[in-house]
């Protein structure tokens, strides 16, 4: 999906390689799966130079992988801006932000996989309530900024800068949340739509995914407006409304709208929700997501003759489906770490900055970095296998995942099932494409089809009696282009983060195993960061139980996010890109 507006069916049938970056071979997107099978080790030992408090020097001129920029502060903008920033740390702001975020959580804004057309399915109407809440809560934004609605519920705010030659900064979040299953409500410590504040956290669905980021962005703009800030670089804010069900109606339309307005590569930088902070190897890391894995769901349909269950066939369609599922799960995809994967650089950051970095991993990393040998799929990737010992959360940064998530079939206990469907979800590893999944499942299904005398329709768009059909989802996605970490936008993200949290924080490129609304924005900029900049060192909630019971966010985490966005917007305004 190299062009964000290609029809998804075209993306699925005609996967293309991501565009090359001319600046650093380390961050090339593979041109084809062959680059993963057997190819030269691509090593480009570059790292950022220091960043001063008021300017950004030429990036990445040393031989280190992970040299850290100095904390980056905006220049003195006058007493009103200084007072505005200090106000974010006050008890008055804390009380106000608790009320604002709590109120946002109270507005139920679920999105569902089976939503019908906008204007016809009444479940979309919840977003009218959320829009009304935002307008009442942030009056300066609605008074002074251009507010536009895209595809009814997509929200677009534009704060026009004074210098049209500067590409805009785009900040993103999504309005919708995953649904709360009614049967889980008794398990919540505080009701999921209560927005309860317990003295430390705000509780409820959307509190950490991602109404916290949405409200933090709005509070940043409202605070800067109140301080009479006048940006040179335009600030654009885009809020989709169906991110939790692939974003086609929200971000898909918003990205098209923005592309028509600004053109390809028309934005300076994008910051959306994403990964955050983690303490590992004795070091605190900030990990803005500079890449995302690819995606494909494969729908398996098995059709076999029905009949009365008192005279059954030896194998029903459910039994055959179970055999195929067992075969699929019997072997995982290989664990492989290509140098284009941001986690490769993250390992170097650990080796260079962390006192507790594992010695075996460091030796394997040094061997890989110094080797001119070709790496082939036929050989085990010992570096990746060693790194994967840290747990599934790390392993799946380097491996295509497969998860059998949905199965349905049969309608009556005394009737043989005539049709069974199974959906297998895959997140595609950097260096691979959805095609490897389709090829593997075709191979496995062909053996089952032959065994039971069934016709195989593998990704041909057909389905017939006595058959196995494989079909890829319309939401199939290639691996995202990797944001270069050897460029000034990354330096601004890193410098801003270290300005807020201190020099002890190591900022390293991260990779998302899931996908955000940025999947539709690839053409708009090469600099996309999927980052949750809020952090509370005393909070053990982690990601805040997103997508499950007891979702919550620390108030300190949220306040720090507001501080980060306030610094970042002003830093971007002063950087020459």
* Catalytic (active-site) positions: 176, 243
pLDDT number for residue 297: 97
Residues in the chain: 577
Specify which residues 528 forms β-bridges with: 270
What is the C-alpha R_g of the chain? 25
Q: Is 121 annotated as a binding residue?
A: no
Asked if residue 231 lies in contact with residue 104, where contact means CB atoms within 8 angstroms, the answer is no
- DSSP-derived letter for residue 307 is -
Q: Given a cut of 90, is residue 26 above it in pLDDT?
A: no
Full DSSP string of 406-448: EEEE-S-TTB--SEEEEEEEEEEPTT--HHHHHHHHHHHHHHH
What's the rounded Cα separation, in Å, for the pair 162 and 165?
9
Residue 40 confidence (pLDDT) above 80: no
Give, as one character, the DSSP assignment of residue 419. E
Any idea what DSSP says for residue 545? S
Which of the four pLDDT bands, split at 50, 70 and 90, describes residue 542?
A: low
Q: List for the chain the helix, strand, coil content (%; round to 5).
A: 35, 20, 45
Token pair in block for residue 197: 């504040």
CA distance 539 to 548: 18
Please say if the pLDDT value at position 8 is more than 60.
Answer: no
CATH class of 74-281+505-567: alpha beta
Give residue-wise pLDDT tens across range 397-419: 999 999 999 999 999 999 999 99
Nearest to 29 by CA among 428, 491, 494, 440: 428
Q: What is the pLDDT of residue 23?
A: 33
- Consult the annotation and say whether 196 binds a ligand: no
pLDDT, tens only, 244-283 = 999 999 999 999 999 999 999 999 999 999 999 999 999 9
Q: Report the pLDDT value the prediction gives residue 345, as an integer from 0 to 100.
A: 94
**Can you read off the two tokens belonging to residue 215?**
């409200």
User: Distance from first CA to last CA of the chain, Å, rounded?
Assistant: 26
470 Cβ neighbours under 8 A, 6+ residues apart: 298, 299, 300, 438, 441, 442, 445, 456, 457, 458, 459
Task: Compute CA distances 57 → 23, 488, 495, whole Å.
Answer: 16, 8, 12
Angle between helices 555-574 and 79-87 (to 10 degrees): 160
pLDDT at 576 over 90: no
Residue 164 labelled as part of a binding site: no
> Could you please report the per-residue DSSP string of 484-495?
PSSSHHHHHHHH
Neighbour tally for 133: CB within 10 Å:
16
State the DSSP H helix or E strand holding residue 482, giving kind and residue range, or none if neither: none
Half-sphere exposure of 331 (CA within 13 A, CB side): 8
Could you tell me if residue 46 is left (phi over 0), alpha (psi between -120 and 50 degrees) or otherwise beta?
beta
pLDDT one-digit tens code per residue, 170-204: 999 999 999 999 999 999 999 999 999 999 999 99
Q: How far apart are CA 103 and CA 331, in angstroms?
A: 47
Lowest mean pLDDT among 43-47, 90-94, 185-189, 347-351: 43-47
* 425, 320 Cβ separation under 8 angstroms: no
Task: Identify whether 463 is preceded by a cis peptide bond (ω within 30 of 0).
Answer: no
Distance, in Å, from the CA atom of 241 to the CA atom of 379, rounded to the nearest integer, reads: 44
3-state secondary structure of 155: strand
Identify the pLDDT of residue 29.
31
Beta bridge partners of 289: 510, 530
pLDDT band, residue 555 (cuts 50/70/90): very high
* Residue listed under structure tokens 């196995």: 468
Residue 374 has pLDDT above 50, yes or no: no
| Model pLDDT, residue 226 | 97
Q: Is 76 annotated as a binding residue?
A: no
Strands (E), 109-245: 146-150, 154-159, 169-174, 201-203, 235-240
Is residue 532 within 8 A of residue 274, CB to CB? The reply is yes
Q: Considering the chain, what is the average pLDDT of its residues?
A: 88
* CA angle at 223 for the pair 221 and 226, rounded to the nearest 5°: 105
Q: SS in 3 state form for 497-512? A: HHHHHCCCCEECCEEE
**CA gap 93, 572 in Å, rounded:** 24
The domain limits of the chain are: 74-281+505-567
pLDDT the model gives residue 369 = 83
Contact, 219 vs 173, CB < 8 A? no
What is each CA distance from 391 to 280, 289, 319, 400, 424, in whole angstroms? Answer: 12, 19, 33, 15, 22
Give the largest Cα separation in the chain, rounded: 86
Torsion of CA 385, 390, 394, 395, to 10 degrees: 40
| pLDDT of res. 62 | 32
Q: Is 339 annotated as a binding residue?
A: no
Segment among 78-82, 209-213, 337-341, 537-541 with least mean pLDDT = 537-541
Distance CA 6, CA 293 (A): 18
- Out of 126-135, 173-182, 472-481, 538-547, pick the least confident: 538-547
**Distinct helix (H) and strand (E) counts, the chain:** 16, 20
């Amino acid at each position: 999906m190299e062009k964000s507006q290609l029809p998804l069916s075209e993306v699925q049938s005609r996967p293309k390689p991501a565009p090359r970056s001319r600046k650093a071979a380390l961050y090339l997107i593979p041109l084809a799966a062959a680059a993963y099978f057997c190819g030269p080790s691509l090593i480009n030992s570059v790292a950022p130079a220091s960043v001063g408090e008021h300017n950004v020097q030429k990036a990445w001129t040393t031989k280190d992988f992970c040299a850290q920029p100095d904390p980056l502060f905006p220049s003195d903008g006058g007493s009103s801006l200084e007072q505005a920033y200090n106000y974010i740390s006050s008890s008055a702001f804390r009380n106000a932000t608790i009320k604002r975020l709590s109120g946002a959580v109270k507005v139920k804004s679920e999105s569902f996989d089976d939503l019908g057309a906008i204007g016809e399915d009444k479940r979309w109407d919840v977003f009218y309530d959320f829009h009304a809440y935002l307008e009442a809560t942030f009056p300066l934004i609605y008074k002074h900024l251009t507010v536009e609605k895209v595809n009814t519920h997509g929200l677009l705010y534009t704060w026009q800068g004074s210098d049209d030659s500067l590409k805009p900064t785009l900040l993103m979040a999504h309005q919708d949340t995953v649904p709360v299953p009614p049967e889980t409500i008794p398990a919540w410590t505080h009701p999921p739509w209560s927005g309860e504040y317990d003295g430390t956290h705000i509780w409820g669905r959307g509190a950490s995914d991602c109404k916290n980021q949405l409200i933090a962005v709005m509070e940043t703009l409202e605070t800067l407006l109140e301080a009479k800030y006048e940006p040179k670089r335009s600030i654009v804010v885009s809020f989709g409304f169906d991110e939790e069900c692939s974003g086609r109606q929200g971000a898909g339309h918003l990205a098209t709208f923005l592309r028509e307005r600004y053109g390809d590569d028309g934005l300076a930088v994008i910051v959306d929700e994403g990964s955050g902070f983690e303490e590992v190897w004795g070091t605190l890391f900030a990990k803005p997501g500079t890449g995302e894995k690819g995606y494909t769901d494969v729908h398996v349909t098995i059709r076999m003759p029905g009949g009365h269950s008192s005279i059954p066939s030896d194998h029903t369609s459910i039994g055959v489906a179970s055999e195929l599922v067992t075969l699929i799960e019997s072997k995982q995809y290989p664990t492989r770490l290509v140098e284009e994967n941001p986690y490769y650089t993250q390992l170097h950051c650990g080796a260079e900055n962390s006192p507790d970095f594992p010695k075996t991993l460091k030796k394997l990393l040094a061997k890989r970095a110094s080797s001119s040998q070709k790496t082939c799929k036929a050989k085990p990737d010992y570096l990746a296998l060693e790194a994967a010992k840290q747990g599934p959360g790390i392993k799946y940064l380097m491996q295509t995942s497969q998860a059998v998530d949905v199965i349905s079939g049969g309608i009556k206990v005394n009737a043989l099932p005539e049709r069974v469907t199974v959906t297998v979800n895959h997140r595609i590893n950097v260096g691979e494409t959805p095609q490897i999944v389709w090829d593997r499942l075709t191979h496995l299904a062909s053996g089952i089809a032959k065994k039971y005398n069934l016709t195989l329709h593998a990704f041909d768009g057909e389905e017939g009696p006595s058959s196995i059909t494989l079909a890829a989802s319309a939401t199939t996605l290639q691996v995202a282009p990797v944001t270069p970490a050897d460029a000034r936008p990354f330096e601004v993200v890193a410098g801003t983060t270290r300005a807020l949290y201190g020099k002890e924080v190591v900022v390293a490129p991260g990779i998302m195993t899931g996908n955000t609304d940025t999947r539709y924005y690839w053409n708009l900029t090469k600099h996309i960061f999927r980052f949750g900049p809020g952090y509370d060192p005393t909070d053990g909630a982690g990601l805040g139980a997103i997508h499950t019971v007891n979702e919550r966010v620390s108030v300190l985490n949220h306040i720090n996010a507001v501080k980060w966005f306030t610094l970042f917007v002003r830093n971007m305004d002063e950087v020459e890109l």
